Amino acid sequence: MAYPKTSSQQGRTWRKLHLAIDTDNHDIVSAELSMVNVSDSEVLGDLIRPLRRNVDRVTSDDAYHTRDCDDEIAAKGVVARIPPRENAQY
């Protein structure tokens, strides 16, 4: 059974905050805010493209393991440390 939204719930939606963190000093070096309908992998390029610092590697969860993310990481010239998705294939 679906319950109707109350007036305080109407118009609310989730947003996701994506962060790029420097693992040496734990500083936030890049941040992107997206709507719930934007996949994690769509945001990676916006996170790493503008960085003017040397990036050794990109580490993330399997949500970022896509061909588009691999292309963005390769364009930046860094190593990807991303586990394959559960349904990954060669």
pTM for this model (two decimals): 0.73
* Region 60-74 average pLDDT: 88
pLDDT, tens only, 36-51: 899 888 999 999 999 8
Rg from Cα positions in the chain: 16
Residue 54: which of 73, 28, 70, 78 has the closest Cα? 78
Among 2-11, 14-23, 57-66, the range scoring the smallest mean pLDDT is: 2-11
